Structure 1
Amino acid sequence: MQIFDYMKKYDYEQLIFCQDKESGLKGIIAIHDTTLGPALGGTRMWTYDSEEAAIEDALRLARGMTYKNAAAGLNLGGGKTVLIGDPSKDKNEEMFRAFGRYIQGLNGRYITAEDVGTTVADMDIIHEETDYVTGISPAFGSSGNPSPVTAYGVYRGMKAAAKDAFGSDSLEGKVIAVQGVGNVAYNLCKHLHEEGAKLIVTDINKKAVAKAVEQFGAKAVEPHEIYSSSCDIFAPCALGAVINDESIKQIKAKVIAGAANNQLKDQRHGDMIHELGIVYAPDYVINAGGVINVADELYGYNRERAMKRVEGIYDNISKVIEIAKRDKIPTYKAADRMAEERIEKMRRSRSQFLQNGHHILSRR
């Protein structure tokens, strides 16, 4: 991998390697873009096959966070950390404290949070060394479990997509097939049930399915049957890459709107569902509730204020649909365009500020 060529191609700002011999820390912080503000993105711990695979993952995820934060209307850039190691046996306090000192040394350019393989407890240890961390314990003034907030954002975004597909944003009487009934999806089902939607659910966890059947009167189907279920809206809330050659042939829904990350197996699948006239709510726009929620911690967490911002996911999805129609492109491309337009506007206004010599005055 030619690292500088890759960084130049997607215009990354910085790649930082963090090593601590005593604790076994092997970390990579990737900062993609700080035009809108400090880079925010979680810390992932994973057993990578190679150092190159870890670098590539950090870079790819950091760029994804730039788009996610920009599209969510946050004044934050994109970054990500990957720690090389097995989260079940390689963690120790010294590792996270050493990592916290590296973050502190960046002086606010990068703010971290939990991700795959890391927990609230790990963030609390990082917090011993730096304030540039979110998703810490509620005892420290954090927002706690983000799942209900993410679910509320998905619910709001789904209503916006429904308005475009059906002419009304009411979900009453709509048949919604929910793939996966984890924490986020369970809370989503609750909102849908309260509005009078009819639910079809599936999950490999039979207990989770039974709970949804009992509490929301949902109809249970086998995992492979969810795609071909007769429904108005398909909500992927489990694995990624579920919109693929096989599933597209079976999907009967007019809308795809769910909480899962990286729903399109490939970009061409976004083109395929667009050609079929299916309204797709791009995943990183609709599932941004969690990041909006933790970002509020940077101002001293206020749940009411955070929920108000999460409510705005309705407008964000509406805007993506508007751009898709304006530019005659699929919604997955429109989401990127919305994020890029916001970053570009800020970049122009900042350069204007610098040209006027204000930066000289501000240094005095």
Structure 2
Amino acid sequence: MQTPWGFPDFDAHEALHLIHDEATGLRAIIAVHSTHLGPSAGGTRFWHYADDADALTDVLRLSRGMSYKNAMAGLPLGGGKAVILAGEDRHKTPGQLAAFGTAIDRLGGQYITAEDVGMTVADMIEIARKTRFVAGLPVAGGAVGGDPGPHTSLGVFLGIKAAVKRALGKDSLDGLHIALQGAGSVASGVALHAAAEGAKLTIADVDAARAQALATQVNGKVADPADILSLDADVVSPCALGAILTEQSIAALNTPIVAGGANNQLATPEDGERIHACGILYAPDYVINAGGMINVSTEYIRDGDASLVRRRIEAIPGRLEQIWVESASSGRNPAAVADATAQALIGRSSAAD
């Protein structure tokens, strides 16, 4: 589809900021998709991209997903995202993080950042030296804040349980096989929750040592990353990077459920229909993985405590069930149902469109 700027993933984004700090070598992009519900919010990703066009595509898609995620979670936030373009050595410096914090501060609160792939709590501390528009900062025990990853993991785990209940009629993951793509922060949390309930896990990650370490921790198995999506499993859980559900990978799926924490799992909107046509129950990613942003929002806005964060995360299964019920009654695939609902919430279209 042709857009006014010629970028296929440009979706009426409100602003796109290209950042270059010559002194530190920082190169970054901040995309503001929507501020309809509040200041745009979404994590910063630190990643080495094959080329600048890939970075632009990623930040455009991720920021749109954040608008949808925050809207569907009922948060008073819009959607934004940032990517810091890493060099081949994947090394970042305090100077680059400071320059990035300054760039955020110049936006005057239009964009609020937190951790994403490749970023840590320590990085947020460095950024916060230059701007107050940051969350995911360390806090005292019991307070709201810190790494949002464990909160994302909890929401994904609860969403998997909801999918299992709907598709398989089971109240527990005990004895079920979960094929987990990824072994990072979110994937590790999902694995620990699932293993504690008796699930059998097969894990794949581009970092083989990391996959093996997690598999050992949960008494699971390791698979080749090229094979993980096609394993015979009760649940396939993508918890790594996005655009992994394609025409080819969907055709190879051997599972009744796809439910995971990765952002932008569907390579194209058409893939939502493809997975639905296969009779596979899909949990829209920005609904199931909202736990981290729920924690970030509560920390930044200061409108609740840790118990409220937990209650808000525990509402994720109910939102998924509403999507699945509407999908079943309307015949529309769950991804399309979720998209239409989110678009209406941010004032972009009618849910009936």
Deviations 1:59-99 (A, max 9, x none): 33322211121122211101123344538577444443343
Give the aligned partner of residue 325 of structure 1.
Answer: 328
TM-score between the two structures when normalised by the length of structure 2: 0.82
- Taking the aligned partners of 1:221 and 1:50, their CA distance within structure 2 comes to 29
Asked if the contact 1:46–1:87 (Cα under 8 Å) also holds between the matched residues in 2, the reply is no
Ranges in structure 1 where 5+ consecutive residues have no aligned partner = 348-364
Identity fraction in percent: 41
Give the aligned partner of residue 258 of structure 1.
Answer: 260
Residue of 242, 253, 260 corresponding to 2:244: 242
Asked if the contact 1:111–1:134 (Cα under 8 Å) also holds between the matched residues in 2, the reply is yes
Residue of 164, 178, 181 corresponding to 1:179: 181
Give the aligned partner of residue 337 of structure 2.
Answer: 334
CA RMSD, Structure 1 to Structure 2 (Å) = 3.4
The residue type paired with residue 198 of structure 2 is: G
Q: 1:89 to 1:73 in 2, by over 3 A?
A: same
User: What does residue range 218-297 of structure 1 map to in structure 2 within 5 Å?
Assistant: 218-297=220-299
User: What does residue range 99-248 of structure 1 map to in structure 2 within 5 Å?
Assistant: 99-138=100-139, 143-203=145-205, 205=207, 207-211=209-213, 214-248=216-250
Asked if the contact 1:87–1:117 (Cα under 8 Å) also holds between the matched residues in 2, the reply is no
Q: 1:4 to 1:205 in 2, by over 3 A?
A: closer
- Taking the aligned partners of 2:88 and 2:74, their CA distance within structure 1 comes to 32
Q: 1:203 to 1:345 in 2, by over 3 A?
A: closer
Asked if the contact 2:9–2:57 (Cα under 8 Å) also holds between the matched residues in 1, the reply is no
Give the aligned partner of residue 70 of structure 2.
Answer: 69
Q: CA deviation at 1:191?
A: 1.9
The residue type paired with residue 313 of structure 2 is: V
Q: CA deviation at 1:193?
A: 2.5
TM-score between the two structures when normalised by the length of structure 1: 0.80
Q: CA deviation at 1:37?
A: 0.8
Larger Rg: 1
User: What does residue range 8-19 of structure 1 map to in structure 2 within 5 Å?
Assistant: 10-19=11-20
The residue type paired with residue 336 of structure 2 is: K
The residue type paired with residue 33 of structure 2 is: H
Q: 1:81 to 1:179 in 2, by over 3 A?
A: closer
**Is residue 79 from structure 1 mapped to residue 80 from structure 2 by the alignment?**
yes
The residue type paired with residue 119 of structure 1 is: T
Residue of 285, 304, 325 corresponding to 2:307: 304
Q: 1:38 to 1:195 in 2, by over 3 A?
A: same
- Taking the aligned partners of 1:145 and 1:120, their CA distance within structure 2 comes to 6
Deviation larger for 32-41 or 187-196: 187-196
Q: CA deviation at 1:124?
A: 1.5
- Taking the aligned partners of 1:213 and 1:35, their CA distance within structure 2 comes to 42
- Taking the aligned partners of 1:221 and 1:125, their CA distance within structure 2 comes to 37
Deviations 1:221-247 (A, max 9, x none): 444554454332222223434333444
Q: CA deviation at 1:214?
A: 4.7
The structure whose residues are more often helix, as a share, is 1
Asked if the contact 1:200–1:221 (Cα under 8 Å) also holds between the matched residues in 2, the reply is yes
Deviation larger for 4-13 or 64-73: 4-13
**Would you say how many aligned residue pairs link Structure 1 and Structure 2?**
347
Asked if the contact 1:135–1:142 (Cα under 8 Å) also holds between the matched residues in 2, the reply is no
